[in-house]
Amino acid sequence: MSMEYERKWEVRRGGGGRAPGGETPTTYYGIPAIHKPHWKWMIIFYFFFGGIAGASYVIASIAQLFGHPGDRRITRAGRYLSFAALIPSPILLILDLGRPERFLHMLRVLKLRSPMSVGSWGLTIFGAFSTLSALIQAADDGLFGRKTLLARILRAMPAHMIGAAGTVPAFFLGAYTGVLLAATAVPIWAKNALLLGPLAVASAMSSASAALALCLSLLRGTSHETLKRLERLDSITLVAELVLLTAARRNSGPVIGRPMNEGHLGRIYRFGVIGAGIGTPLALMAKSALLGRSSSRFVAALASVLTLAGGFMLRYLLVMTGRKSADDPEATFALTRARRERSEQA
């Protein structure tokens, strides 16, 4: 950081606050023009778990409503996984607050233009659906006994309808995190505002299908066809993720996109997310598809693990590039200058 300051200071000395020879001013001693959020690991983990909780609920419901009769396992595993990934989510969010004891203040108001406000309500509503569906599943599996009152009440509930209705808050939970980042003044997030929501959904779906495939492949008796179908979903969502992520990098341009191109975050983008997290699993799946024979369980599990790691690294990349972007006044000015140029052209 201090190195950066010195360099900017030298530029300013040479150009009087302007780029050498250029008309556009550079920065004020390199001091950031906006403040960055304090969010770090807890929010990154929340984005990861929240995405899996929402998307595995979606996959469970779709498997139940439209799926192959042999895919009951997907529904069952999806409901349990959704609930398991849900549990840490509010805990992480509350611990990340400056004043965790005031977490209920989040539900004082509902503001439709604030993704954080809508998100708090969305997580609450989804929490109810996810918990209820997991309980119904547990009752179906006989975890509450056969003839107990609780088991009877839960089994009498319309599981299909609850599952169908729950897909709305489940998709919301997967997507709103992207919208939350988009509705800020952080250059790299604001510039890619339209892409971040879809990217969050795609990554949530790929992580959830990989997690489900991994869980099911560890269970005995999971049919090969079931895993095949999950793998197909995984590959489609990974391709969507790849397209959206590379589109975001192109859309950012040379100045705003700097955090994705340089340094340790640039390496995580290239080798971690694109290479290991998306490219390798896709290549493994494509190889088995091209050869016409199915990959071994080990290779399939490897692809799932890499997809999950890639999903986590993507969340890391999203949060950390934002922090770096907010610290770059040139990026802020590139964003706010571009609006003038656009309005002057119009």
Partner 1 sequence: MKGESDTMSEDGAARRDLTGTTGARPGAVGFLTDTTLCIGCKACEVACKQWNQLPMDDFGFTGHSYDNTSDLGATTWRHVAFIEQISEREGQRPAVLKPFQSNWLMMSDICKHCVNAGCLEACPTGAIIRTEFDTVVIQQDVCNGCGYCVPACPYGVPQFSPSDRKVHKCTLCFDRLQDGLEPACAKSCPTDSIQFGLIDELMEHARDRVDVLQDQGVEGAYIYGDRAVGGTGGMEGLNAFFILTAPPEVYNLPDQPELPQKKTFPASVTSVIAALALGTAAVFSLRRR
By CB under 8 A, residue 278 contacts partner 1: no
Shortest distance (Å) from residue 87 CB to partner 1: 21
By CB under 8 A, residue 174 contacts partner 1: yes
Is residue 185 classed as helix, strand or coil in its secondary structure? coil
Q: Which of 1, 3, 66, 146 binds partner 1 (CB under 8 A)?
A: 66
Q: Which of 53, 151, 213, 233 binds partner 1 (CB under 8 A)?
A: 233
Q: Which among 139-147, 200-208, 250-258, 288-296 is the span making contact with partner 1, rule CB under 8 A? A: 200-208
Q: Which among 25-33, 132-140, 146-154, 265-273 is the span making contact with partner 1, rule CB under 8 A? A: 25-33
Nearer to partner 1, 108 or 147 (CB): 108
Shortest distance (Å) from residue 149 CB to partner 1: 34
* DSSP assignments along 95-161, one per residue: HHSSSGGGGGGGGS---TT-HHHHHHHHHHHHHHHHHHHHHHHHHHTTTT-SS-HHHHHHHHS-HHH
Q: Which of 42, 72, 117, 155 binds partner 1 (CB under 8 A)?
A: 117
Residues 315-334 that bind partner 1 (CB under 8 A): 322, 326, 329, 332-333
By CB under 8 A, residue 311 contacts partner 1: no
Residues 241-260 that bind partner 1 (CB under 8 A): none
Please state, in angstroms and rounded to a whole number, the distance separating the CA atoms of residues 260 and 319.
Answer: 12
Query: Which two structure tokens, joined as six digits, stand for 62?
Result: 């779709």
**Long-range contacts of the stretch 250-255 (C-beta < 8 A, 24+):** 251/191, 251/192, 251/195, 252/188, 252/191, 252/192, 253/191, 253/334, 255/330, 255/331, 255/334
Shortest distance (Å) from residue 304 CB to partner 1: 15
CA distances from 331 to 32, 117, 156, 221, 268 (A): 10, 28, 57, 53, 20
By CB under 8 A, residue 24 contacts partner 1: yes
Q: Which of 95, 97, 128, 165 binds partner 1 (CB under 8 A)?
A: 97
CA distances from 198 to 40, 84, 237 (A): 22, 24, 11
Q: Which of 147, 221, 293, 343 binds partner 1 (CB under 8 A)?
A: 343
